[in-house]
């Protein structure tokens, strides 16, 4: 009888261990590509990296509403994207994207606005609900903070 109990306990522990290791998936186990392609990202804050230190200081961004703009972007699994940017007019950018620099940077190439325009966006924070990017410019950069 003790042998049956031990065998049953071993089976239960094996099933429990398998369930814990194979069924649980956290944000930490998702790739940056997976997180980027899970739905629409909405612009919440924007501003220049005024001192060029590559750190988003509290006085460097304002809400998108305060800047009188809105934007949303979708990154698709086929490496295309669409950015809808609204100020006085609505402008839709379409193109291709890829992760470069060890998945630390998003390179976008606009394909629907004349000559292809390449933009480099350094990823400073990424989670399932937050995406903080520094768009490289000739001088310093522009912070773009998106949420879900």
Q: Which two tokens mark 137?
A: 């410019």
Q: Which two tokens mark 15?
A: 């099933």
pTM over 0.85: no
Per-residue pLDDT of the chain (148 residues), as tens digits, is 433 333 333 334 333 333 333 333 335 689 999 999 999 999 999 999 999 999 999 999 999 999 999 999 999 999 999 999 999 999 999 999 999 999 999 999 999 987 879 999 999 999 999 999 999 987 789 999 999 9
CATH number of 31-147: 2.40.128.280
Q: Which two tokens mark 5?
A: 């109990």
Q: Is 14 left (phi over 0), alpha (psi -120 to 50) or beta?
A: alpha
Q: Which is nearest to 67 in space by CA: 48, 84, 50?
A: 48
Q: Domain coordinates of the chain in residue numbers?
A: 31-147
């Amino acid at each position: 009888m003790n042998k049956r109990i031990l065998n049953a306990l071993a089976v239960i522990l094996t099933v429990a261990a398998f369930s814990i290791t194979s069924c649980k998936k956290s944000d930490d186990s998702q790739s940056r590509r997976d997180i980027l392609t899970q739905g629409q990202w909405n612009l919440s804050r924007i501003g220049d990296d005024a001192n060029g230190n590559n750190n988003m200081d509290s006085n460097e961004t304002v809400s998108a509403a305060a800047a009188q703009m809105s934007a949303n972007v979708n990154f698709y699994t086929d490496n295309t994207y669409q950015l809808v940017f609204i100020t006085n007019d609505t402008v839709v950018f379409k193109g291709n994207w890829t992760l470069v620099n060890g998945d630390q940077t998003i390179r976008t190439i606009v394909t629907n606005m004349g000559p292809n325009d390449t933009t480099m966006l350094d990823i400073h924070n990424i989670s399932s609900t937050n995406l903080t990017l520094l768009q490289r410019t000739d001088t310093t950069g522009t912070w773009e903070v998106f949420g879900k």
